[in-house]
Structure 1
Amino acid sequence: MEMASARRRANKAQCGGGGDQQIALWGACVLLSALSLLVAAASSGFGAARLTAREVGALVRATTTATTTGAAAVATRAVNDGGGSRYCSDDDDLVRSMSVDGEWVRDAAADRRRGALYEPGQCPFVDVGFRCRENGRPDGEYAKWRWRPRRCTLPSFDATRLLEILRNRRLVFVGDSIGRNQWESMLCMLASAVAAGESSNSIYEENGSPITKHKGFLSFRFRDHNCTVEHYRSPYLVRRGRPPRRSPKRVGTTLQLDAMDSRAARWKDADILVFNTGHWWNQERLQRLGCYFQDGKKLRLNMSVEDAYQRAMNTLQKWIQKEVNAVKTLVVFRTYSPAHVRVTDGGGGCAAETLPELNTSRIALHRWPGVLNPTFDEAPEKKLHVLNVTLMTAQRRDGHPSVYNNVVPSSSRTTATPAGQRADCSHWCLPGVPDAWNELLYALIVRRFS
């Protein structure tokens, strides 16, 4: 009997490492334990402990079924739960980690899942430059990847539910053309809940303006829910204006780092505010525009872009503290989404890419030092939620329009980016990467308003 007891302890040690990672081995352990008991019983003189051939076969079949079922359960749970059994919208800690601790996975049910959002060519709210498939891009793989957090499960995007949350409310995006990219994605995702025959009448731009690059703002109303989804173009978020008197001739305009954009009063009463900035904070671009930094009444000709950017972010946070009602308004700052331009190939750094970069050790985050980690005080009373998409987006070199941006006729496009053919490696194809940002934003909204 001591021998039998020893065998049982050994089997328990082998099979008890358990948890979800061991489920697939459980059936095999059951079989091993049963056979060990049989041998132990026989060696101890318990002649009645016999298994017939039929009983052995039944045990093997049961074990095989258990093993297969267990493996399937592990695989299903891993895909659906994203490594965690809690929803990312369950608490603030999970919300903060969901965009920085995760991985891109190819969605095996991509066609079914994307059908629940929107299909290429079927959403009228996408700028022509983002319609990659319609502009001749031959592959559609870039739209078949989804972001899966490791610590929690993203709530499935439900356009009907979100429209109900937005009823009688305003969702406002403020920022550059990458923010417009995300705004158009959200319009398409929400419109998926509106019957195709009704969308042209029930979703409309309030001023009759077309979807295009613009210098003002666009506001789409969902009539049946009395809500608006708006975009204000403000590449720097702070005010751009005339320079102080007696400024050098090279100074054409200044960024007034201590003052918000002059239209900020239009945003402050929104129910959800989503800010972004970054791509225009570029020394070469600013100098080409004759634009320099101004802090108060003082012109700061030698101020670095990084310091100016952080000063502007301080102004943003102070404005939020002073002007925004935290009881009413959810305020989100989406971080910089990396461009993938390589100077050495004439701007074609994304032209031939069709797959994500899944090895994060290859991502050179130092390329974006000043705009990668703006310093915000994220204490609850500070009213601002940071949605850090920089690392997850840096992996998606494949998601840009590249040469499929309607700049040149499709017949003359190549993936080699010849001289004179501009590849857009800053914006994003739709459907595509901005949909993943909005699924993360959805988790934030659900946490706040549900």
Structure 2
Amino acid sequence: MNWKWSTEKHSQLLVKLAISILFFGLGFRLLFSQSTGFSDISEAPFIKQTLNPQPVSVDLQENGNQVLENGTQFGENATQASVNSNPYQENGNQIPENGTQVSVNPNPHTSDDLQENGNDSGNATEVSEPKSSGSVDIPETRDQNPRKVTCDLFTGDWVPSASGPAYTNESCSWMESRQNCMKNGRPDSGYLFWRWNPRDCELPPFDAGQFLELMRNRTWGFIGDSITRNHVQSLLCILSKVERAVEVYHDEEYRSKRWLFPSYNFTISLVWSPFLAKAAIFEDENGISSAPVELYLDKLDPTWTNQYQDLDYMIFSSGEWFLKTANYHINDTVYGCHNCPNKNQTELGFNFAHRKVLQHLFNFIVSSNHSGMIFYRATAPDHFENGDWFNGGSCQRTEPTKEGEFNIPDLNKYLREVELEEFENAVVKASEKGMKLKLLDVMQLSLLRPDGHPGLYRYFHPSKTDNSTKIVYDCLHWCLPGPIDSWNDLLMEMVVNG
């Protein structure tokens, strides 16, 4: 009996031992398999997202009913232009009363320069939200990895944008009548539904709130001609979605102005200086010259140099005005001219004067040791087809053009070559001194937008204009809202990310 009990007890011990071995084996295998699984992940714990979708390729189909057939760009046989009578005159028909300093007024004077007949009509049709055509009503996509080591903001494509412009002609009161294309009766609105998309990086849309916060207690100066004014109005319209600026200053001719954003103590100054150099200009309110421009190539314009040190950010531009008939002075002596009225003078050409002034400008900037950020905006193109403004040229396109279809007009090309050469010389010297000198190159993105100009709609409902009024297409300035708004997208990106 003792033997039987001993045998049974021994058998139980063997069973328990076998069960223990079985559980131990299962546990060891489970632990080993889990350990193997974790090691597969731990070999590469910081896998980066590499998704980088290509920009949308847009094959633009021309609308044969609204696009000029057999349109030609400014021809290769173009010669130096004599611009004595310019339809885009800078002086207004309404001459303001004397008085330069303006008190802060929640409803400041907003009639900039020239007011076309009928533009203030109470029957004007305003468009609050332009509608997109079906061809551009597609969702936008965003790059999953927008920040890259290098970013060429100026090479890219225009892609459809369902969101449309950041403002309308109802939400902004700062646009002048000549750029208010929708109010003036432009029938199409598809040109409003595109955005600029650089090819190797993402360009965020302009963030008005962020920009105003960054510019708190800062000052901006935009120095140049009517295209500069066009640019400033675009910026004011975008920022007005957050806070409406108050006009606090204007000169007697309403050409130079200053605006304040009270909540941010942020000011934007528009400084009228079409040559950037000292000049005597003899034009009436219609842009008709009674005498050649007297241009002093070795003297910068004190209109902007006197306030240079008080501006934290500046953007300079020039170009088109150098095409005007002018006498050139150096050391207070007539040195030569362009389109010389006096045949005994030396014909130097507009490029000579343009280069001299830019050299003087950049030497001034580099020697100033200014600690802020300074931009030079390169020349923007016009889009006259089948002629120029003075001989029947027009711009009637309604969509962006394909790359390579529209060449840079010859005169713009000559101005641009000088600008890029002189800027490259200056930026080397500026970088050696640690200065922030930047090039805002809007040529390529603007060249692809022949649809963005007022054209006939610089006039209020041109089809109803009196036959005695000479109708001239404006293929130089830009509709607001319109493609010029993208210039501010670029500007903000360059300010925020260098």
1:273 aligns to 2:314 (yes or no): yes
Question: 1:85 is matched with which residue?
Answer: 145
Alignment deviations for residues 132-166 of structure 1 (CA, whole Å, 9 cap, x no partner)? 00000011122211111011111331111100111
Residue 270 of structure 2, aligned match among 203, 220, 231: 231
Alignment deviations for residues 258-296 of structure 1 (CA, whole Å, 9 cap, x no partner)? 2211122213321110111112121xxx22xxx212233
- What is the CA-CA distance between 1:300 and the residue it aligns to? 2.0
SS in 2 for 1:139: coil
1:162-241 superposed matches below 5 A? 162-194=211-243, 199=244, 203-207=245-249, 209=250, 214=253, 216-241=255-280
Question: 2:108 is matched with which residue?
Answer: none
SS in 1 for 2:220: strand
Name structure 1 gaps, 5 residues minimum. Answer: 1-18, 24-74, 243-249
Question: 2:10 is matched with which residue?
Answer: none
Question: 2:132 is matched with which residue?
Answer: none
1:257 aligns to 2:297 (yes or no): yes
Q: 1:22 to 1:110 in 2, by over 3 A?
A: closer
Question: 1:4 is matched with which residue?
Answer: none
Question: 1:300 is matched with which residue?
Answer: 336
Question: 1:331 is matched with which residue?
Answer: 374
Determine the C-alpha separation between the residues in 1 that align with 2:315 and 2:379: 13
SS in 2 for 1:280: helix
Alignment deviations for residues 352-397 of structure 1 (CA, whole Å, 9 cap, x no partner)? 2111112325424545232113121323245421111112211211
> What is the one-letter code of the residue matched to 2:464?
S
Question: 1:437 is matched with which residue?
Answer: 487
> What is the one-letter code of the residue matched to 2:416?
L
Q: 1:307 to 1:397 in 2, by over 3 A?
A: same
Residue 360 of structure 1, aligned match among 404, 416, 423: 404
- What is the CA-CA distance between 1:255 and the residue it aligns to? 1.3
Determine the C-alpha separation between the residues in 1 that align with 2:197 and 2:465: 34
Q: 1:296 to 1:104 in 2, by over 3 A?
A: farther
Determine the C-alpha separation between the residues in 1 that align with 2:365 and 2:307: 13
Determine the C-alpha separation between the residues in 2 that align with 1:347 and 1:182: 27
Residue 104 of structure 1, aligned match among 158, 174, 194: 158
> What is the one-letter code of the residue matched to 1:258?
D
Determine the C-alpha separation between the residues in 2 that align with 1:156 and 1:425: 26
SS in 2 for 1:312: helix
Determine the C-alpha separation between the residues in 2 that align with 1:151 and 1:22: 10
1:67-82 superposed matches below 5 A? 79-81=141-143
Question: 1:146 is matched with which residue?
Answer: 195
SS in 1 for 2:258: strand
Determine the C-alpha separation between the residues in 2 that align with 1:338 and 1:253: 23
Alignment deviations for residues 397-424 of structure 1 (CA, whole Å, 9 cap, x no partner)? 1100111112x5444269xx99921111
Q: 1:148 to 1:267 in 2, by over 3 A?
A: same
> What is the one-letter code of the residue matched to 2:485?
D
1:311 aligns to 2:356 (yes or no): yes
- What is the CA-CA distance between 1:447 and the residue it aligns to? 2.1
> What is the one-letter code of the residue matched to 1:227?
F
Q: 1:253 to 1:139 in 2, by over 3 A?
A: closer
Residue 369 of structure 1, aligned match among 404, 413, 416: 413
8 Å contact kept, 2:52–2:145 = no
SS in 2 for 1:206: strand
> What is the one-letter code of the residue matched to 1:179?
T
- What is the CA-CA distance between 1:177 and the residue it aligns to? 0.4
8 Å contact kept, 1:348–1:402 = no
> What is the one-letter code of the residue matched to 1:221?
L
Q: 1:262 to 1:367 in 2, by over 3 A?
A: closer
More relative contact order in 1 or in 2 (CA 8 Å, sep 6+)?
2
1:131 aligns to 2:196 (yes or no): no
Determine the C-alpha separation between the residues in 2 that align with 1:21 and 1:128: 43
Q: 1:356 to 1:349 in 2, by over 3 A?
A: farther
Question: 1:53 is matched with which residue?
Answer: none
Residue 464 of structure 2, aligned match among 409, 412, 419: 412
8 Å contact kept, 2:374–2:438 = yes
Determine the C-alpha separation between the residues in 1 that align with 2:321 and 2:493: 28
Question: 2:472 is matched with which residue?
Answer: 422
Question: 1:3 is matched with which residue?
Answer: none
> What is the one-letter code of the residue matched to 2:443?
T
Determine the C-alpha separation between the residues in 1 that align with 2:392 and 2:169: 24
8 Å contact kept, 2:387–2:394 = no
Question: 1:55 is matched with which residue?
Answer: none
Q: 1:153 to 1:418 in 2, by over 3 A?
A: farther
Tell me the percent identity.
28
Q: How many residues in Structure 1 have an aligned counterpart in Structure 2?
A: 338
SS in 2 for 1:220: strand
8 Å contact kept, 2:277–2:297 = yes
- Superposition RMSD on alpha carbons, in Å? 3.1
Q: 1:361 to 1:343 in 2, by over 3 A?
A: closer
- What is the CA-CA distance between 1:332 and the residue it aligns to? 0.5
Question: 1:384 is matched with which residue?
Answer: 437
Determine the C-alpha separation between the residues in 2 that align with 1:22 and 1:164: 32
- What is the CA-CA distance between 1:434 and the residue it aligns to? 1.5
Name structure 2 gaps, 5 residues minimum. Answer: 1-49, 55-137, 282-289, 338-346
Determine the C-alpha separation between the residues in 2 that align with 1:231 and 1:397: 26
SS in 1 for 2:329: strand
SS in 1 for 2:158: strand
8 Å contact kept, 1:142–1:354 = yes
Alignment deviations for residues 217-261 of structure 1 (CA, whole Å, 9 cap, x no partner)? 11010001011111011111111149xxxxxxx975421112211
Higher radius of gyration, 1 or 2: 2
8 Å contact kept, 1:104–1:148 = yes
